[in-house]
Structure 1
Amino acid sequence: MDERELTEPWEGVLITPASISHTGVLVLAGSSGRIERDRARILAQEGMTAMSIRWFGGPGQSPGICEIPLETFVSAVDLLESTGVRRICLLGSSKGAEAALTAVHDPRVDGVVAVSPTSVVWGNVGPGRDGRQRPYRSSWTWKGQPLPFVPYDDGWTAAEAADGPVAVRGWYERSERTFADLVPAAEIPIEETGADVLLVAGGDDAMWPSLPFAERLAGRRRTAGRTARLISRAEAGHRPRLPGEGPASVSPHFRYGGDAVADAELGAAAWPHILDLLPG
């Protein structure tokens, strides 16, 4: 494999396999903001050209997930396309899954793997370029316009947050109820894309209700006459682990649900379907 560091227009890594690759995969982390180097390597070992980028928090970027231009991912697809691949796919986790599902505005995207997804666009997580976190703004923009979004009910944090790692799933559930009138406009229009869609979600997700979100996405695809595969395990949490990945690190701030065994089992169950969607 050949591993190339990227510095412009964003930080990242581009890994090409030893053999000819027909599939390019853009790998997107969630709210950690990290470059998913290890996951990209695992995909490259399977014969895919894999790229992961820092899509916020880097030089010249918004410090938080606030009004991130979806054109960021279009530019990444441009680079993948320039390597000569014939099939382009996105693989994102959590907020990265939200990005991947939303970025199917680009008709060149042939497939999307959304791990622990949401079915709606949410408000910002962290500050925007102006350094402000309030009032809430959309996580994403497209052609300079913020996408409709669901804000957060801040009453939950005062009433229910506690010392130590916190499960914030209830915050998202409460926010959807509080701002129910905004949910329809904020729904990610996954039914409109011709891309293949694979959804991976754990029933014990303590970060947000990714399995109900995934079921909604799959339902909307079915209603539109399209398909979406949904792979789930009731005991798994927010961070499924693919074969070759070790257990996720323990956070001092958040509870993610599941455990090392269940999260690995969900990743193992999803893996053959991922390889089927992302053929090298």
Structure 2
Amino acid sequence: MLTVNGSIFMPSVFILIGIPGLESMQCWIGILFCAMYITAVIGNSIILVIIKYENSLHLPMYIFLAMLAATDIALSTCILPKMLGIFWFHFQEISFDACLLQMWLIHSFQATESGILLAMALDRYVAICDPLRHATIFSQQLLTHIGVGVIFRAAILVTPSIVLIKCRLKLFRSTVIFHSYCEHMAVVKLATEDVRVNKMFGLFVAFAILGFDIIFITLSYVKIFITVFQLPQKEARFKALNTCITHICVFLQFYLLAFFSFFTHRFGFHIPPYVHILLSNLYLLVPPFLNPIVYGMKTKQIRDHVLKIVFSKKVS
């Protein structure tokens, strides 16, 4: 590494600290995170297998659920192995390019998950507000286009922020990242150059994706609730609302954690750094951990197939 006036020119390696202030507890935190990760991988894998091999579940709602499960596995896998290496074995070094790759994967999968949640909300909107046209609108071709579209949208919007870091930021005051993974702002703040463009573009991407999605999800559910409460029969209202409760729980846990982590990281100047980092970690780990549990408990078709698998193994 070349040092210029006390700054480091184009460092080849960064050092990830983990959770500064909680070094003595990182081993136990790693055990908790590992348990959450294993639960997330197993739970989401079971959902994927059930949806794949059960023909009655080859419907838009469950196909979107399968997309969500695959994204959750990929998102948690982006950070957990390296994080456990830091917590348990003090493998703190990460190359500059690997750091940018991890950053790109994390934000791309976050954006993909947000896009899938929007697609799920629109699916429920059409199913409840215009049920006769649901099968026609959500055709197999449209599902494919939605899947490809949310992936490309995420990649296209996230990539420029990574390219800006790679091409514009050359001098860094330190190579030590006070975080447990390569978080965008944690890396940008290390640079000695003008980083306003990087910060502003990062904010733009966050609001362009999360802001856009949450606005349309909210509008969809406002229309859904208006339609549901206009139904004459209580049973019909209850059935319609019951199909949405699971989705609402998943939406809330994803977006509330996202915005809480976002605002505390940028405006919570008096909050200890380890609180920021723990919130960031939980934002990435809690949704993949809870989603299969929520869907397994609240979705009858998924729950019945899981019970069938469990009891068939016991009988055999």
Q: Same fold (TM over 0.5)?
A: no
Question: Which one scores higher on RCO, CA 8 angstroms, separation ≥ 6?
Answer: 2
| TM-score, normalising length: structure 2 | 0.28
Answer with 1 or 2: which has the greater Rg.
Answer: 2
Higher strand fraction: Structure 1 or Structure 2?
1
Higher helix fraction: Structure 1 or Structure 2?
2
| TM-score, normalising length: structure 1 | 0.31
